[in-house]
Amino acid sequence: MQRSIQYPEPEDFITAIAKPFDSEAVTKVVAPFGLTWSKAVKLDRNLAIFDLSAPAFGVDFHFKDQALVDENDGHSVGEGPNLLTSCACWGYEDSIETYGGPLWKGLRFSDTKADAIAKLGEPDRVGRYDIHRWIFADFELSIHWNNPDKIRVISYWMKSAQAAGRLAYPGDGQPFEAAPPRRTV
């Protein structure tokens, strides 16, 4: 059962993307869910990749060490900072509460693919498992449906390969060249 909280605005998630965990922008999106770095789960013993989850509120956060995000920045893996690379707001998924806060551009978890396209425009990419991805100037957004009228998860992502043209793996495991955004927010 969810307690009453002040959910972050969709723009708060976008502002927090690519920022360090201890930044004001990230604190604004993780603190309402009672999340602290001590609750982070390291996903790989050899790499600094972490998840922070609040399943009771239907939200997950994914962090990577800055050296893993940008290999040319001069940091060594493990030095940090740990940057927010994605935020997932869960809709229709077993064992996870539905996220109760506002979503980008008025999206709802009951939106059909046609509803999402009407709100966001045509997706830039449709990947495996029918995951639709939109590339905006400052972030990427993906939607994965359980069926045609039930959204499983809406995720805000750091721009693939920092829009530097390097190969990226955008959540569906298939590499593609990062391209400049086709639209503005």
Average pLDDT of the chain to the nearest whole number: 81
State the average pLDDT over residues 101-118.
94
Q: What is the chain's Cα-based Rg?
A: 16
Q: Above 50 in pLDDT, residue 106?
A: yes
Lowest mean per-residue pLDDT among 47-61, 109-123, 170-184? 170-184
Q: What are the distances in angstroms from CA 73 to CA 22, 68, 83, 152, 180?
A: 19, 10, 13, 35, 21
Q: Which of 1, 40, 45 is nearest to 20 (CA)?
A: 40
State the average pLDDT over residues 34-46.
81
pLDDT band for position 71 (cuts 50, 70, 90): low
Task: Give the number of other Cβ atoms within 10 Å of residue 128's Cβ.
Answer: 9
State the average pLDDT over residues 105-124.
94
Q: By the 8 A CB rule, do 143 and 80 touch?
A: no
- Provide the whole-model pTM: 0.80
Q: Where are the alpha helices (DSSP H) in the chain?
A: 10-16, 24-30, 66-69, 113-120
Q: Above 50 in pLDDT, residue 170?
A: no
